[in-house]
Amino acid sequence: MIRSGQRSWLGWLLSLGLVWFGSVTEATAQAVPQPHVKAELIAETTAIRPGTPVWVAIRLELEEHWHTYWRNPGDSGQPTSVKWTLPPGFTADDIQWPIPKRIEVSGLVGYGYETEALHLVRITPPADLPVGKPVTLAGKVKWLVCKEECIPGEAELKLVLPVTGDVPPPSTWTEAFSRARAQLPLATSEWKLGATVEGDAVVLLLSPPTPTEELTEASFFPFEELVIEGAEPQKLTRVKGGYVLRMTRSKVAENPPTRLAGVVVTPQGWRGAGTEPGLTVDVPVEPPTAFGDALTPTAGTTASKPSGGQPLGWMGLWLTLGGAFLGGLILNLMPCVLPVLSIKVLGFVEQSRAGRGQAWQHGLVFTAGVVLSFWALAGVLLALRAGGQQLGWGFQLQEPAFVAFLVAVLFVFGLVLFGVFEVGVGLTTVGGTAMNRAGLAGSFFTGVLATVVATPCTAPFMGSALGVALAQPTAIALLIFTALAIGMAAPYLVLAAAPQLLRFVPKPGPWMESFKQFMGFLLMGSVVWLLWVLGLEVGVDGLALMLGVIVLIGLGGWIWGRWGSYTYPALTRRIALATAGIIIVGSSVWGVSAIHQLPPVASAAATQPEAKSGSIRWEPFSPARVTELRRAGKPVFVDFTAAWCLSCKANERVALETAEVRAEIERRGIVMVKADWTNRDENITRALADFGRSGVPLYVFYPPNGNEPKVLPEVLTPGIVLEAFRETS
């Protein structure tokens, strides 16, 4: 007779034995090696319980650069399939397909998996399954594995599991099953879906549960073939009803689809960050009129983006890098470079006196300063955008504290150029008989300052390159920013490599001191410009505060120059330098900190919508206002600008505020809208991103006939503006 205590021990031993036996049977389910694929059948638990479904998975481990296919393979391929051989009474459901990825090979786009494919299947045993006797689950699995070439594969997979009356323990594959389930698409969501066909486009409408819900990336994978062109880009745009994803309709299908079924994928997750990236779509295709005005685009929603942030192809990458290099090169001709023109010109003068080796060193160090500054700005921008911040190129000048810091730095530079005090050759790279380490440090700092001040504006070719960069993986984005930096530094690198180009510069003499002081006036002009920008950002109080800081910096510089020279005793010099340093650094730090605490003021476009007599009447930008004007049939011109963008201001003076352009605006009844990006504005940042841009200037003309808007070049002339008005009207 077995007592109760003995029963518990026997039960425990029996359970332990089942676990051990289950692990043994799992071990007998060996992977089957095939060309470029290792296939095996795995289970989520170590045993089967009668009547309780058990999850198994067909696991395909793939060699690097090889892939298998999703349920719809795309332009070519074959989906993985299984034919089960199960014990009597067992039933198997269909394969559960994790979300695929786009795989481009030789111009064709397939939908599939790389590295590992885990296809989940639910198998249900009969309720009267005898306990204690193991069962064998078997299936003949077929797949197609491809790289450049494709190889069909198949394997007979088996898995032996014991049968227990208790809850079966988990297997060693539990975590893998959890990962696979996270990649299964949601069956339902709070997002509302709809579909229509507009001409050659299949349109998927995605309405968020709340108006503030953001969607920046999405891509669609249809369940059926011959629905869309897989190789064509998919365009995500913002509309009144939420978002639409436009895809090119299949050119082979005889008729448009009557129902749209598939999976729409976003890395943001459909229930918030870190949640399921896939959402099942199964909706009827309705006429566009069924959605009313929900498909009406908001401002700036026509630019293509790489679907789902897909990397560029090799040809696209080289074209983008070439455009980035040209954009950086042309940036040297933009008005934004003027703030540091004096320092660069003085550097050229110094190179004319140096040997070839020294000039080459300075060119490399200057280039390093430019490249590292581009990397730093790009890294901060990409990190903040990844954290959800709506930022674009030139974001540093949207921060009043940073503008105040630049004012202080450039004012100190100006005092040095005027000769108020000397800090050695390191700061300006001028003076002395040799270009020593301090001079190299000055060249590096010149490159840093040139980048920081010159990059807020975008030159031709640069805007589109920046837009592409911010939609790419980090490595590709940094490569594009590097091309921009090298383009900007190229002229100075060439002059450093060939100093004979500067042989026409007069020989050193007293003229150099006068020239240096003249360059100081250009730098002080930059200080005035930055003070104006600061006043627009924080108002007259912040401007007055910074002017007080400048006075203190001037006092510190005067003390430095008056008692810091070598004509005074060492103790006097030390006291003077310490006092000057405390005043200059202390007042600068205090001023920047105080300005950082000031609230921003409204933009000029918002506070002064009425224009003065003889100039353009501007309206402040808002996506809703642009949509309202377009629906009313009005022609609309949107100027994306900022006070710190000198290119923008130059375009306004040279092209927009001319008599002939103003007359054409009045004659055609064009509504002029100003998107003032001087201070940070998320609506403007999103609108720029919708056009594939990340900085200003950007000029967009919406014609009155409802056609696609026209994007104008970054550098305007009256002729360019007038031609855009006439072509699209």
Q: What is the pLDDT of residue 303?
A: 37
What tokens does 561 get? 């120059």
Residue 451 sits in the same domain as residue 375: yes
Confidence label for 613 from pLDDT (cuts 50, 70 and 90): very low
Confidence label for 678 from pLDDT (cuts 50, 70 and 90): confident
Q: What is the pLDDT of residue 397?
A: 66
Confidence label for 1 from pLDDT (cuts 50, 70 and 90): very low
Residue 279 sits in the same domain as residue 319: no
- Report whether 680 contacts 398 (CB < 8 A): yes
Residue 370 sits in the same domain as residue 251: no
What tokens does 538 get? 């924080």
Residue 134 sits in the same domain as residue 168: yes
CA angle (454 as vertex; 452, 459 as ends), nearest 5? 135
Identify whether 309 is part of a domain. no
Q: What is the pLDDT of residue 500?
A: 63
Q: What is the C-alpha to C-alpha distance for residues 584 and 580, in angstroms, rounded to an integer? A: 6
Range of the domain at 505: 314-596
- DSSP 3-state assignment of 642? coil
- Report whether 438 contacts 425 (CB < 8 A): yes
- CATH code (residue 615): 3.40.30.10
Residue 372 sits in the same domain as residue 454: yes
Residue 378 sits in the same domain as residue 525: yes
Identify whether 230 is part of a domain. yes
Q: Which residues contact 153 (CB under 8 A, 6 or more apart)?
A: 34, 35, 36, 37, 39, 142, 143, 144, 145
pTM of the full structure: 0.44
- DSSP 3-state assignment of 258? coil
Q: Which residue, 296, 325, 360, sits at the end of a domain?
A: 296
pLDDT tens, residue by residue, 416-455:
878 887 764 333 333 333 333 446 776 777 777 667 666 5
Instruction: Tell me which H or E stretch contains 544.
Output: helix 511-563
pLDDT at residue 52 greater than cutoff 50: yes
Tokens 């997002």, residue?
191
Residue 337 sits in the same domain as residue 389: yes
What tokens does 206 get? 């995605």
Residue 206 sits in the same domain as residue 107: no
Q: What is the pLDDT of residue 190?
A: 86
The gap from C-alpha 626 to its chain's centroid, in whole angstroms, comes to 25
- CATH code (residue 47): 2.60.40.1250
Q: Which residue, 182, 204, 234, sits at the end of a domain?
A: 182
Q: Which residues contact 666 (CB under 8 A, 6 or more apart)?
A: none
Q: What is the C-alpha to C-alpha distance for residues 35 and 495, in angstroms, rounded to an integer? A: 57
Identify whether 465 is part of a domain. yes
Residue 344 sits in the same domain as residue 484: yes
Q: What is the pLDDT of residue 388?
A: 42
Identify whether 249 is part of a domain. yes
Residue 431 sits in the same domain as residue 574: yes
Q: What is the pLDDT of residue 349?
A: 59
pLDDT at residue 462 greater than cutoff 70: no
How many separate domains does the chain show? 4
DSSP string, 105-124: ETTEEEEEEESEEEEEEEEE
Q: What is the C-alpha to C-alpha distance for residues 484 and 460, in angstroms, rounded to an integer? A: 12
At position 54, the amino acid (one-letter code) is V
Residue 178 sits in the same domain as residue 217: no
Q: What is the pLDDT of residue 19?
A: 41
Instruction: Measure Cα distances from 189 to 219, 242, 274, 550, 666 in Å.
Output: 17, 15, 15, 58, 49
Identify whether 563 is part of a domain. yes
Confidence label for 338 from pLDDT (cuts 50, 70 and 90): low
Residue 103 sits in the same domain as residue 229: no
**Number of neighbours of residue 307 by Cβ within 10 angstroms:** 21
Identify whether 5 is part of a domain. no
Identify whether 1 is part of a domain. no
Report the C-alpha dihedral over residues 597, 592, 520, 344, rounded to 10 degrees: -100
Question: Whole-number mean pLDDT of the chain?
Answer: 78
Q: What is the C-alpha to C-alpha distance for residues 48 and 216, in angstroms, rounded to an integer? A: 44
**Can you name the residues that pair with 150 across neighbouring β-strands?**
146
Confidence label for 5 from pLDDT (cuts 50, 70 and 90): very low
The gap from C-alpha 379 to its chain's centroid, in whole angstroms, comes to 11
Nearest to 300 by CA among 697, 725, 693: 693
Q: What is the pLDDT of residue 171?
A: 92
Write the DSSP symbol of residue 452: H
**Can you name the residues that pair with 219 across neighbouring β-strands?**
265
Residue with the larger pLDDT of the pair 346 and 498: 498
Identify whether 16 is part of a domain. no
Q: What is the C-alpha to C-alpha distance for residues 603 and 622, in angstroms, rounded to an integer? A: 13
Nearest to 645 by CA among 686, 696, 598: 696
Average pLDDT over residues 511-537: 79
pLDDT at residue 271 greater than cutoff 90: no
Q: What is the C-alpha to C-alpha distance for residues 247 and 477, in angstroms, rounded to an integer? A: 25
Best-predicted range by mean pLDDT among 86-95, 200-209, 319-328, 662-671?
86-95
Q: Which residues contact 68 (CB under 8 A, 6 or more apart)?
A: 37, 60, 62, 80, 112, 113, 117, 143, 144, 145, 146
- Report whether 413 contacts 428 (CB < 8 A): yes
Q: Which residue, 158, 182, 206, sits at the end of a domain?
A: 182
Q: What is the C-alpha to C-alpha distance for residues 411 and 526, in angstroms, rounded to an integer? A: 9
